[in-house]
Every structure is written in structure tokens, then in C-alpha cells.
Structure 1
């Protein structure tokens, strides 16, 4: 069945008498009850990600930003970029118009994504249609998640069959031909089995000329719960995203080029991105006795990703009068095929009562990732043409159907690689009395990469391999001097192999390099101001070392003497102020600078896309039982577009609003307006000359049932 047909069927079930009949029939089935780890509206609930076991947020010794399903729905969030604006210490790069590219505490990555605690590292734009919440765990997290994660990790918790009845549909439309449909249908089939399916289809335009997207997803799940407490969930997801890549506009004299917000720079007919992602997941929990539980997760994923772009490759050049006149173009396309298989098994032992509780988690993780990469450089005018097209007029920035010949050049990637990981870890949580808890853990990873260079131009060595043996400790202390308040201190370490977060390259010069290390010292607090309102805060120092740098004695040789230090303060507030007033607020003050010369920058340079100050505030107030209003403010200070520190993205303050109206007992009308003030803003970039113009005032309207 096609995604459109599936959604049409769901809409039929939701309409009028059909929906009522379906509910009456479902009501006759004995419900299967599974306790979900969810929060209250905007307030985070218990999490089982940060410590690998279910725990209150107050008992986790690190800064964690949680964006709930309700906040995602109330703001009509469309992307990870929307999510991260409400996480302190987080920004997001442009990602060349085809991938999520977050920067956490001044450390950029395209691979530190997880779904239900398992790695999801292919480069693409993730959708939120099946997301229960997004957890952003800041600081090194290798003890739980393995390699990488130096600045933090982003974990999506998905909706699965939970024994409850779900009959939901959302229809959304708005400016720039925005059209989107999301469905959620689930029920208990009998006393032990429940099923659920989440569906999405979107076809939308953009405030940018020639840019459009079509994406769809389907995510069915089945859960079994036996009388002995055994639970198992099987899920499958098919997700397809097809869009025009948009790399924004070049800079001019160190600032974003002043252009009409809709102006497209490049050739949209050859700027495209398509990803097909299939995944299957099996998760089960098996209680062995009153104190001991076996948890297992197995994930298979197959990803086919390709993209091409003809884009601005340099700054705009001034004419004799000092006005921006022309800019250059370059072109390339890239293809990645990857198959992931991961298996995680944990033994969780818990004993004792509050004040004398002991929890020990010991686990094993194995995985394999098979990857094929191909990149081709474009030459304008034919195979013998130039790789750069100069003299493109700023006044006529769009070129269509340019003659471009693509071929693998001597420096383009063309390789196959196999990455194997095997890891053991153990973590202990011990109450040292009623007010003190100690958390200590250690992980040992063996990460092996075998890569074959398949470029036709290579005449020498083609096969490269490296094995890294990585120790990742974590130590935390949580103190509760009074019941609503917890204070913590922690130390953690992560490592990133020299092959990079996408492990796409290995050569003679990098084969011998050790992993980069990330060491984090952090202290903070979490306090329940009321039972439904939590405030959090953290200060940290994060040191990144073993970064590649040029050898001062041997030209052309790489040494690992580079370093970067990030420091900062992160504050958060979330939950209900009163029964009718919900709020989320965040603030971050941060600095990330090069402390020892790297291959990219000298001492003193600021990390890219790391503003010194960011803040966000969202309030939703219930005016009457049927009418609610929302108002939000997002502020981002000045930041550098790249590590060159030659182009500055000006700070901005954006105001958003929303109106919510309940119609009858089951339906909700929602109006969202982003950028109420219609400001001109540049939220992000990819380097100095792919600067993304922010959207003008944008209106979206939706009608939903069951969400």
C-alpha cells in the first residue's frame, strides 16, 4: 500500500461514525498496560538513556535537554533545527542543504544521532513524525553510546505499541505550499499483544525559489507482554526524503550578502538530495528474578543516500563602485550506501531500597557497518572544462541546466569500508545514604576499520586498516541536600577515531593517528520548583585534544598536538507554572577556542557556529478551556560562520506565536506564526560562503485529532 493510500485509509477511520465505531470495537478488547517513561507536558519524565536504566532527571549527573512531543506539536516543529533552538549549548549547521549538522558545546558532528539508544549515523534530515521526545545529552557520552559524542549526542525516542488506543490524524498546510499529513493508529489486540503504526507524507515548497521537498515515512510496531513481565517490541521503518539542496548565499566583505530572501544561488536543476532509509528493530526485556533483568536491542538498517549541488564556492566580488557584482560556482555529487547491524545486551541488577539502593549495569555491544562512498567533481562545459565557473552575476544568481560533466577526480573519495565494533561496559550506581549517590562506569571499545581505495588513479597501495582500543570512563556524584534539589559533579571522556565521524577516509598519513579525545568536567543542579516545574543548570570545561596539526619540523607531515577548549554555562526551565500556564526557557553562555594550533586554525580562533550567548523562551497559556495562546522568543548572538573567523553571522531575535482552539471533544485547530516581526536573519551556514537566509514570516494551520 502506498503512503498516500495508507494515510487516506487512516483519515477515513478517523472521520465521524467510522472513528466512533472503531473505538467502540477497540473498547471491547482488554487493554494491555505498559508504563511509559513520559513527562507531564513540557516537563521531562524519567529517562532510561543517560544511565542505561530508568532514572529521574535529577539523578543524572549531566546536562540534558529534553524536547517533549507536546512541545514539538505545539510549535509545529519541522526539523532538528527547530528542536535544538530549545536546547542550551546547541546550534545546528546548514549541512549543505541535505543533512542534520549539529554543534554541541562548540563541537560539530553529523554522526552523533541515535534512535532509542542505538546509533543512527547516516547523513540525512531526520523527521519528527514518529518521535515521542528528543533527548540531547550534552558532554562526552562514550561510556553509554561508544565512540564519538564528544560534545554530546542526540537521541530520538520513537512511538511504539504500548497497549493504549491511539486514533490520531493531523492535517497541516501553510505558506509556500506547505502540505503535511501525520497519522498515529494503535490498539491492544488482546491481553498480551498490541500494535501501532505511525505514518507521514509531506509535499512542500519553500520561501526559497526553486526549492521543494517530498518525504514520507511509515513505522509499524508490535509489542508483546507476557505474564512474567517479559516484553518484546518489533518495529520497522521506511523513510524517504527527496528534496532540492539549498546552500544559501555567499558572503560579502565578512558579512552575509544582502539579497532577496528568495534568491537561489547556483543551479537548482542539478542540486538534489534523496535518501531511502529502512530499519528493523527488536527490543526485549526479560526479568530473570526480582533483582535481575536482561535487556536486548538488535537493529538492522540499510541506507541509500545521494546528493548533488552546484553552489557558491567563494565570496561575492565587488565592482568598481564597491558593490557586490559576481561570485563563483563549483559542483559535485556524492553517493553513500551503508548497512548497519548493531546488537546490545545488558544485565541490570538492582537491590535495596531508597537510601541503600545499588544498581549495576553490565553490557556487551557488537556491530558492523558496511559503507560504499563515491564522490564526483563537476567540470563546467564538459570533461575538459574548469571546476570553477567564475563571473556569475549576483543580480542574476540562478543558473539553470548548466552543462556540467561529473567524474571522480584524483582527490575525490571512492572507497568501500567495513567498520567493526565490539564493546564491554559496566556501570554502578550506589546510594551512599539517603542524600548521596555515586555513579561510576567504564567502557572498553575495539573499533576496527578496513578501507579499500577504489579510485582508478591510484597506482600504489589501496588497502588500509586501523584498530583502536578505547577506554571511556565516567564518574559522577549526585547530592540531594534538600528533597527538591540535587547537585552534581561529573567527569567523562569520549574518543573519536582519526577516520572521522563518518569513517570515510583512511590513508598513509592518517592510518597511524590516534583517536581524538574529549575530556569533560561538569557541575550543576536540578531542582523541582514545584512538582510540575523543573529548573536545571550546569557549568563545564570540555577539552578536545589529539587534534591533527601540521608538523612544524617536517613539511607535509601531520602530528597530533592540536587542542580546543569549550567552557560554558547552561540553564533550563520547563513544565507548568500554573494549571493554565506552561513554559520552556533556556539560556547558554559559552566559548569554544583553539588552545593549540590545529590543521585548521591557529591558537585563539573561535569554533564555528558557537555564539557566546543564546536564549529561548516559550509560553503557552490556557485562556479558556477551549482557547490557548502561545508566544515564543529565540535569541542567538553573533557567531563566526567557520573556523577562519573571517565571516560573522549577525545575531538575531525572532518572535513566534500560536493560537490553539479545541473544537468539540476530539479536534484541535492550531495556528502557528514563525517570525512574527518578519525580521531579516541568517541562522546558520556551511562555511563562509553557504549562508542560509532565515525564513520570512511564515504561517501554518493544522487540524488534528488524537494528538
Structure 2
């Protein structure tokens, strides 16, 4: 048994929240009472603002980076906001669809069973959030109940805690609006796709309002035997017990059932040349099923005088099972390929509570927006993995022209996981946004995290492990606004990645201190037209102390490696003219290993990081109810993994759309066509031999109405 010294177990959430909150609130209240001359805006007034943070395709404000309502021009980081209108115009349905137009981010295939992204060269399954709360279950997420998706690039440890080496994805959910809401959509598409959704709500009285979002979808695929069905429902209720207090309660149930598709193997360093519908494995046995149940309670209170408190509580239960029969290597010269198989069952419960106190005040002649907060969390996860056997063998060789085989049994091998992992999280953070003058502002903050992981190995010969990490995560930003239409910034951000960050420990990692991610960035935003914003960022992101194999102790690791991503990102969002909207992004990235890691040798390129990626979507209002959309996505070639043995060829994909809004102004018919020119391309992979083919030309017809 291997252990490290551990801190005392956390107290119950409520007691810790009150104790920590008291430490923060008392000095803030005292200081604000003496020096504050700024009047607060009631929470209810904020909730009922008609303009909102996004107009069309262009976002003007965000709280993702700062946890305070901040103009984007005062955010010293690269932040892309994908609004609901763009998601609707492109008929987006998944997180992978969303990031297609986000510079610096590429979609990973996620073993065909989950959302996974590569942000500035850092692959992650865990850096997903919903309204600022960790949402790290390895599942597919839907967009049916979202106002927008905000993608923050660069380490985000000061606000989000552990992980976030390359950035985070924060989904912002819809809430009741104290007015009538009524909308419904029906969509049909290629490969028998059918989807319906509804968004309804109203106020009950002046002190209560409700909203309900729901969706259901099913369909096949251009891939043989691949199918999917899912549904979700999300009711929310907002209560206003007083003019300055708002309580919003929500519950979401989501079920997703689909074929786990592991794509193509490689041949001679490129994707194997086979018909796009060819399924490598066994489509009858490949399954991915997940159920998500989440409850949230958000309490906001405005004390007046610039002092507000926000308490965000969420408990989420994830139930996940996936099973794969997949290519275990490349196609050989004889036209043969090996198959292997496994399955995995995971159940996880997340309980998180964040308490934030913000205070706007004048101190020493300077304007301050002070944020003080605590986060408490507990995660409980069980995982059981079984190896697939073809008779008595764990691998079988088949012809690449008929690449299928049936698994006779799934059972545990000596190396398969069977564990329960518990993690306790306690963090405190402090941030100040200071206006030095009208042109100059400073943002500075630091977070302290206590992260304890207990690994209970439940195999026949168990190895129980424990690790506790305590870490500070600072950040600093300087913002210069020489004119109303231009802003420049310089920033530094930091994050830590503990050994047990994704709720897993092993004897060869339990003694390793956290990896570190550091980001240095220069950026700018220009309003090139009144409603059109151009943004730019140049950065260097180093991930230090990456695990590398220990040559003196095979099977163990040491902290010696480093990977680096240097890059430039550009974004353009808004109205080019009254009848022309644009949402575009470009990234030039150089991601490489600068010191050998467990993944690859020095000098190797980081997998799934193309040197150049460009995307541009245009929407045109043609008049008389007609509109059109045209988009182009380009990605230069990239490597499938750190080995640099397999290359994904460069590709360009063109998408189009045609819209018609009926005379009543409430009903719209939209035709979206993806891959207009029917190009063959391979946008992503899961290693060298699970390469995902892009869909050929396909169409979706959507009828949407408001009532």
C-alpha cells in the first residue's frame, strides 16, 4: 500500500461554506462601508436586462474569465463566445460542432464515446463546465438548453482550479426571464435523422417564473451500423423573495445511447483507403450509453452599495458504459489488421458549491471590483474495465476488406481497472480588477487549492493509494484602452494538473507532484465597425514537469518533460453591414515536445494540432424573408498522435444554408447542407489507428416556430 500524508477530511459542505464565507465577508463589508460610493444594480434588474451580453454573433460581456460581469474589452485573455443564434443558423448539435469555429481548438474523437477537445495543444476530457461549475463526466453534451458556449483559451487555474492547462469550455444555460417564452423546432436530415426540441416558459407572478427546455433525437449515420438516440429535459424555476434576491433552481436529465465508432486504422502513415462506410470492429457490440442527472441551485443577493453575493450549488450523477471492438494497429502489407476489445463502466457523483462575494468600491482614489470566493467539492467515482476475448485470445487478425469479429466474452484481466476513487476539493480565491485610470486597468488574482484523492483498488491483489496536493494558481493582466474602439492587453496565467486530476491514480504516478501550465500572452481587440469586432492574441504556453518514463525504474515516471505551444489566434465576429453577419477565426499553432515526455521524444509535434486552421461563416439577409449562409473550414495537415507516425491530410470543407422566414415573422424554414462539395477528409482521431472520417455531403431541414 502506498500513501502520502493527508490532511484531515473535509467538514460537511454547509459548515465549511459558512465558515469560509464569514472570513471573506467581514473585511469586505467593513472596507466597503467606509469607502464605497458606487451604487449597486439589483440582481433582479440584471436578470431582466433586455440587451444581454450577446447581440447577434457578437458578444460584448462575459463572466467566464473573471466571475464578474465584465466587458470583453477588459478581459486580458483569448475568449471566444459562440452564441445561440450561430448554433441555430448552423444547426449545431454537439460540442464538436461548436469548436469548429473557435480558433486554437480542435475536436478529438474521444474514443467514440465522449466529448474531448485539444485546446492550445492540451487534450482534455475534463475541462468542461456548466454555469461555472465543473462538469467533467466523460459524456456527450447537447446544446438544446444553452444561451451560449464560452471557450477560454490558456490556463485557467485561478478561477476553475485543477486542470485547464489549455483552457476550459463553459456552457451558459437558459434561465427563466419573467416573460413569455415559446419556441419549438422539428428537424429531419440525411441518414434518417429526426430531432425535435421545445423551449417554453412564463412568469407565475411577480415573484416566480419557470422555463422548460427539452429535446429528443434519433438517427443513423453514413457509417455502417452506426446509430444514435438521445433525449433530455431541463425544467428551471426562478424565485424572487425580495427585490434584491433571486433563487434559481434547475434539474436536467439527459440520456444518450449510440454506437461507439472508433473509425479507421492507418496504412503507411496515412488513413487506410477504404469505403467511408466501412466499420472496423463490430457495430453490434460497440455501444456507448450515458445518463446524466443534475440538480442546481443558484442564489444571488444584492446588498446595495456595490456588494453582491452569489452561491452556486450543483450535484450531478453520471452513469456511463461503453464497449469497443476496434483496430489495435495499422493495416499491414498483407492487407490484415488486428482487432482488440474492452468495455468500461463508470459511475460518478459530483457535488460542488461556490460562494462568491463581489464588492465595487473606491479605494486610494481607484475603482476596484473585488472578488472573494470559496469552492468546496466532493467527487465519488467507480470504474470497472473488462477485456474482450476472441475465444481465449485478446487479439484477432482479420482482413481489412472485411474487418469485423465477434467477441465471445468480456472479463477482467490482471491489468484491468476495478476501483473506487474519492476526491475532496477545498479552494479559496481572491481577485481585484482595478481601474488605474480611464485607459489603464489591472487584473490580479490568486487561488489556493487543496485536492485530496483516495484510490481504493478493488482487484484481487489491491494497491490502495492516496495523494494530497496543495497549490497556488496566480494570474495577472494589464489592459490598455487608448480609445473607445481599441484595447490591448498583456497577461500571465497558470494552472496545475495533479496526478489524480482525472480521478485516477497508479503506483507509478501517486508520488508525482502536479504538472504545471504557464501562459504568456499579448492580445488586442478592435471594433473595426460599430458592430464588428476583430480580436488577436499571440501566446506561449508551456506545460512543465510532464510525466516521462523513468529509465532507472521501468513502469514508473519522473517529472522531466515539457511541451510548448506557440501561437497566434485571430477572431472576427459581428455585422459587416446591416444584412451581413460574420463569425470567423484563424489560428497558427506550433505545438511540440521540447523535453521528452511519456508520450513522445523531444522535437515531436503534438497530436491533433494543425499548423494552420481557418474557419469563416457568413450569414446574409437577402430580403423578403430570405436568407443564406456560407461557411468554409480549412485545416492543414496534422499528426494523429505524439508518435508523428501517422498524418491526417489537410482539408477544406464548405457548408451552406438557405433560410426563409414566413410573413408572420415567427416561423422559419432552414436548409443546412454540410460538405457541399462532398470532400473526403479525416478531421480527427484517437491515436494512430482510430481515425475518424468526416461525413460526406448531408442535409438537414429545420422548421422552427415561436408561439
User: Normalising by the residue count of structure 2, what TM-score does the alignment of the two structures yield?
Assistant: 0.92
Q: Which residues of 2 match residues 648-659 of structure 1 at below 5 A?
A: 648-659=647-658
Aligned mate of 1:396, from 399, 402, 407: 402
From 374, 378, 381, the counterpart of 2:384: 374
In structure 1, C-alpha distance between the alignment counterparts of 2:529 and 2:336, rounded to whole Å: 58
- Confirm or deny that 1:527 pairs with 2:497: no
Mapping for residues 588-667 of structure 1, pairs under 5 Å: 588-665=587-664, 666-667=666-667
User: What residue number does 2:35 align with?
Assistant: none
CA apart distance, 1:549: 1.1
Distance 1:539 1:408 in 2: 48
Residues 164 and 455 from structure 1, CA distance in 2 versus in 1: closer, same or farther, beyond 3 angstroms? same
Paired residues in the alignment total 660
Q: Report the CA distance between 1:593 and its aligned residue.
A: 0.7
Alignment of 1:266-415 (within 5 A): 266-319=281-334, 325-352=335-362, 356-381=366-391, 385-390=392-397, 392-399=398-405, 402-415=406-419
Contact 1:111 1:121 in 2 (8 A): yes
**Comparing 528-537 with 206-215, which one deviates more in the overlay?**
528-537
Distance of 1:603 and 1:626 partners within structure 2: 57
Matches within 5 A, 1:390-539: 390=397, 392-399=398-405, 402-456=406-460, 458=461, 462-500=463-501, 502-504=502-504, 506-539=505-538
- Contact kept in structure 2, 1:538 and 1:571, CA below 8 Å: yes
Q: CA RMSD in A?
A: 1.5
Shift of 1:680: 0.4
Paired residue secondary structure (2:87): helix
How many angstroms does 1:226 deviate by? Answer: 4.3
The answer to whether the 8 Å contact 1:34/1:162 transfers is no
- Alpha-carbon deviation of 1:142? 0.7
- Corresponding position: 1:261 with 2:270: no
**Aligned to 1:695, what secondary structure does the other structure show?**
coil
Q: CA deviation at 1:507?
A: 2.8
Deviation at 1:65, TM superposition (A): 1.0
Q: CA deviation at 1:150?
A: 0.4
Alignment partners' CA distance in 1, 2:244 and 2:546? 48
How far apart are the structure 2 equivalents of 1:153 and 1:438?
Answer: 22
CA 544–376 in structure 1, closer or farther in 2 if over 3 Å, else same: same
Q: Tell me, in whole angstroms, the C-alpha distance in 2 between the residues paired with 1:661 and 1:228.
A: 42
Against the structure 1 CA distance between its residues 470 and 572, is the aligned structure 2 distance closer, same or farther, given a 3 Å change threshold? same
SS in 1 for 2:148: strand
Are the equivalent residues in 1 in contact too, given 2:342–2:386 (CA < 8 A)?
Answer: yes
1:59 to 74, 78, 87: 74
Q: Look up the match of 1:542.
A: 541
The one-character-per-residue Cα deviations of 1:528-561 (angstroms, maximum 9, x if unpaired) are 1223111100000001011111234454442101
CA contact (8 A) 1:33 1:164 kept: no
Q: What is the CA distance between 1:35 and its match in structure 2?
A: 5.4
Q: Report deviation, 1:356.
A: 4.2
> What is the SS of the residue equivalent to 1:594?
strand
Secondary structure (helix, strand or coil) at the match of 1:498 reads coil
Report deviation, 1:706: 2.6
Contact 1:37/1:47, CA 8 A, preserved across alignment:
no
Q: How far apart, CA to CA, are the structure 2 residues paired with 1:262 and 1:592?
A: 32
What is the rounded CA distance, in whole Å, between the counterparts of 1:258 and 1:142 in structure 2?
43
Alignment partner of 1:96: what SS? helix
Contact 1:343 1:367 in 2 (8 A): yes
Q: Residues 356 and 434 of structure 1 are in contact (CA less than 8 Å); yes or no, is this contact kept in structure 2?
A: no
Classify the secondary structure of the residue corresponding to 1:73: helix
Q: Distance in 2 between matches of 1:50 and 1:164?
A: 29
Paired position in structure 2 for 1:83: 98
Does 528-537 or 563-572 show the bigger shift?
528-537
Q: Does the CA-based 8 Å contact 1:263-1:398 persist in structure 2?
A: no
* Equivalent residue number for residue 202 of structure 1: 217
Secondary structure, aligned partner of 2:291:
strand
Residues 429, 508 of structure 1: alpha-carbon distance in 2 compared, 3 angstrom cutoff: same
User: Given that residues 432 and 444 in structure 2 are in contact (C-alpha distance below 8 angstroms), is that contact kept between their aligned partners in structure 1?
Assistant: yes
Q: Distance in 1 between matches of 2:438 and 2:241?
A: 35
Matches within 5 A, 1:579-594: 579-594=578-593
Contact residue 221 and residue 227 of structure 2 kept, 8 A: yes
Offset from partner CA, 1:257-294 (integer Å, 9 cap, x none): 11111111110111001101000000011112322111
Q: Which residue of 1 aligns with 2:150?
A: 135
Question: 1:34-49 counterparts in 2 under 5 A?
Answer: 37-49=52-64
Q: Deviation of residue 509 (structure 1)? A: 2.3
| Conserved 8 A contact 1:34-1:163 | no
1:170 aligned to 2:185?
yes
Whether 2:245 is the aligned partner of 1:230: answer yes
Which secondary structure does the structure 2 equivalent of 1:184 belong to? strand
Give distance in 2, aligned partners of 1:302 and 1:703: 34
Whole-angstrom CA distance in 2 between matches of 1:36 and 1:114: 24
* Unpaired segments ≥5 residues, structure 2: 1-46
1:501-549 Cα distance to aligned partner (Å, 9 max, x none): x222x23322210011000000100111223111100000001011111
TM-score normalized by the length of structure 1 = 0.92
